[in-house]
Amino acid sequence: MNVGLDMRVLIPAAQRKELSEEVAFAVVCGGGVHGVARWIHAGPSTPQYESKYAEKLRQKAQEQGLELSELRARAKEAARRKEVANVKSAQLSQAHPQRLDKSPSELVRSKVSGTSSTRKDSSPVKALESIINVPKLMSTPHTAEQISALWTTYHASRTGGTGRGFICASVPVKLYNKMLTIGKQYPMFVMPVSRESSSVVSPEGRESALAHEFYFLQWDFHAPPLPPSATGPDPFSRASPDNASALPQTATVLFTPLQEYKLRQSFATPYFILTFYPDFAQTHGIVLLRGEITPSAATAAATPSQDTSTARFLLSQVDAQLLTIGVQKFYLWGSENEDSSQKGDRKAEKLLRQFHEQPEEFNWADLLEHAHLTS
């Protein structure tokens, strides 16, 4: 006998049906997979097998208050459902995409190299200690202005000394808390970036002589960091509730082309990410801002020894600066001072509120006009 043949071609149809039913019975009655496999290779039903499981079948049916035939039918149905569930689970595990939990450069680099550099903790934000030497700054006296200057100098030295691919700034903690409050209330928005073109059509169908590319903006909020210290963070310590509440939450703002977001929703690749680091909010009254532009696949795959001065990114440096200014324009309204300079803030507030609360009244032309006046 050729042992490679399918067992089904060696067993008549009637016996195959009986065989499948007996296998289902064996699983229900606790015979186990290995016992069933041995019985299959031994051949069709035998008096020894029937006498072995007859008593167990009767006990199982009696416990559940069922007839023997009904127990048989339920066993077959349970086996079928289990097989279908296993197939669906396998299909989902292969088709389900991975969500973004890395910085832009780490995401593209992992796709190119096939490796993963995901943080071991639960936060997708790169810790400030991995960028600058926080314990050293805390061990010697530094003013807020000095820390801001070091932050700017560090980012200016990136990408072969050109600073391309990064935006940086320091934000007074009072202004950051205001942005945080508005960002939590209105976490999504769209921002236009002008493009050169002869004639384009706006989302409302109006023709315009100036083209604009729209970017979808989304705020995300993360747990506050541990207060900085001269000895560095202790990975085995937990921050007390008082200390945790002393620092504001860490926040990120993701920018994605609106067209790509429409196609891929939350799985769309962000072109630009702003990260607010509130580590020095309590000690120095500032929040450090870092903007990272997503590099192209070729740039992300480059080795450290290669020249990075000609690195390419998915967004220009000017566009990244305009988007950063846009966050300030649309999320810093509501100041206590009421003068002529607040007219633009009230316009931004109206647009942001309409986008969330009255989308049918949101006017794209007003958005383009306000963006043009404030860019």
* pLDDT tens per residue across span 268-312: 999 999 999 999 999 999 999 999 999 987 666 665 555 556 778
* pLDDT tens per residue across span 340-363: 455 657 889 999 999 999 999 999
Rg, Å, the chain Cα set:
32
Structure tokens at 34: 């290995």
Cα atoms in the 13 Å half-sphere on the side-chain side of 325: 14
Q: Are 279 and 288 in contact (CB under 8 A)?
A: yes
Q: Are 232 and 129 in contact (CB under 8 A)?
A: yes
E strands in 286-336: 286-293
pLDDT value of residue 79: 78
Q: Which residues contact 78 (CB under 8 A, 6 or more apart)?
A: 24, 28
Q: In sequence order, what are the beta bridge partners of 121?
A: none
pLDDT value of residue 55: 75
Answer with the residue of higher pLDDT: 370 or 20: 370
| The amino acid at 183 | G
Q: Where are the alpha helices (DSSP H) in 170-214?
A: 173-185
Sign of the Cα pseudo-torsion (196, 200, 202, 206, in order): positive
* pLDDT tens per residue across span 140-194: 999 999 999 999 999 999 888 888 999 999 999 999 999 999 999 999 999 999 8
pLDDT value of residue 128: 95
Structure tokens at 243: 């200390």
Q: Are 217 and 253 in contact (CB under 8 A)?
A: yes
pLDDT value of residue 235: 59
